[in-house]
Amino acid sequence: MLRVCVIGLGPIGNRHARLYQADPLAELVAVCDWDKARADKAAATYGVPAYYDVQEMLEAVRPDVCSVATGGHEYGSEHHLPTIQALEFGCHVLGEKPISNEIPQAEEMVAKAKEKGVCYGINLNHRFTPAALLAKRWQEEGRLGHLLFMNMSMWIMNPRETSPYFQIKALHPHTVDIMRYFCGDIEAVQCFATKAPGRKIWSTATFNMRFKNGAVGTLTGSYDIERGHPMERCEVAGTKGRFVIEDMYREATLYPAGDMEKRVYTNPIFGGMRDFEETFANRIHKFLEQVSAGVSPDEIDGSGADGLAAQKVLAAAIESLNNETVVYVK
């Protein structure tokens, strides 16, 4: 059983804490927030000690794993400090997305994990569903044939206006990760964006991508659409077939080329995923499973390196948006 601490007890850190407590591979041993009221409230909820300083907690509790669910500017500026502290201490770390809102900091975090030889995962939870795993299996079985194109989209409401690039940097770690999961590294990107009425930030955007393997893709995303209807759609096509995943886990449909019959997986009523929170449960469980099994840090699903790669695509997209050019991902 892995001894786990959660750092950052906003809504998302509380979700991590709750899920660690429910997971048979983990024992939640402490929570830490420099906001004393938040730390104390979480400590009382989960029956574990509260800390207000990360270093103090690490030394007192000596956890195996830390979740870093901090936030900050563009939802990512606070991750660097506690992640480096936990990695430096030798803990495995599962961090929230985006890995960081700044590329140099993200690079430092990935390098620190490598230097310490520990596992570093990012909560790229959208790929940890039975539907996504099945679609990956279809792909690995050769049912798509030669990869041709991918259309990805995700839309939710987030009225925050923290920076012009908030939507691009904070929403799209998820979508770009799904694109990389199915089609591999992205080498070039072009982005247009728009501002919904009353908004000052680039709250809706479209992206054209070219993957290193030659396939092409589009991505559309928005922070302007209220919840209710579906919020995510993923389509991947090749010479032999095409699949569509609706809402991460609800339904995956395979359309074999030249065949009038399609194959459909529907999230089951009994034993299926109940809601979005279960994407976190699955992702957290997978990280615990891989750490417990001694999986090599290079082989962690949804790794820090994946989080960094997604952020580099988004940095290229922002450059493209500003200069109205195609930008090669560095």
Interface residues with ligand NAD (CB under 6 A)? 7-13, 32-35, 38, 54, 69-71, 75-76, 78, 81-82, 96-97, 123, 125, 170
The nearest distance, CB 283 to ligand NAD, in angstroms, is 8
- Residue 66 CB, shortest distance to ligand NAD, in Å, is 11
Point out the residue whose Cβ comes nearest to ligand NAD.
10
Beta strands at 120-122 and 216-222: parallel, antiparallel or unpaired: unpaired
Closer to ligand NAD at the Cβ: 54 or 186?
A: 54
CA atoms within a 13 Å half-sphere pointing along the CA-CB vector of 313: 32
Residue 266 pairs in a beta bridge with: 251
What's the full length of the chain, in residues? 330
Radius of gyration from C-alpha coordinates of the chain: 20
Nearer to ligand NAD by Cβ, of 181 and 211: the residue is 181
Residue whose pair of structure tokens reads 């090749």 in the numeric block = 238
- Shortest distance, position 299 Cβ to ligand NAD, whole Å: 21
Is 43 or 170 the residue whose CB approaches ligand NAD more closely?
170
Given the complex with ligand NAD, which of 118 and 154 has the nearer CB atom? 154
We find the least distance from the C-beta atom of residue 72 to ligand NAD, in angstroms, to be: 6
Measured from the CB atom, the residue of 9 and 318 that comes closer to ligand NAD is 9
To the nearest whole angstrom, how small is the minimum distance from the Cβ of residue 39 to ligand NAD? Answer: 8
Can you say how many angstroms the Cα of residue 201 is from the centroid of all Cα atoms in its chain?
A: 22
Nearer to ligand NAD, 121 or 297 (CB): 121
Nearest to 176 by CA among 283, 314, 319, 71: 314
In the complex, the smallest distance separating the C-beta of residue 102 from ligand NAD, rounded to whole angstroms, is 13
Cis amide prior to 98 (ω within 30 degrees): yes
> What's the closest the beta carbon of residue 74 comes to ligand NAD, in angstroms?
9
CA distances 227 to 16, 117, 202, 224, 234, Å, are: 22, 41, 19, 10, 18
The answer to whether 29 touches 54, Cβ cutoff 8 Å, is no
Strands ordered across the beta sheet of 204-211 = 263-266, 251-256, 241-246, 232-238, 147-155, 216-222, 204-211, 186-194, 327-328
Beta strand segments in the chain, E: 2-7, 26-32, 50-51, 65-68, 92-95, 120-122, 147-155, 186-194, 204-211, 216-222, 232-238, 241-246, 251-256, 263-266, 327-328
Smallest gap from residue 93 Cβ to ligand NAD (A): 13
CA–CA gap between residue 67 and residue 85 (Å, rounded): 12
Nearest distance in Å: CB 16, ligand NAD = 9
283 touches 124 (CB < 8 A): yes
Nearer to ligand NAD, 50 or 144 (CB): 50
Closest to ligand NAD by CB, 96 or 278: 96
Nearer to ligand NAD among residue 121 and residue 238 (C-beta): 121
Distances (CA, A) of 38 to 4, 19, 42, 166, 203: 18, 18, 6, 25, 30
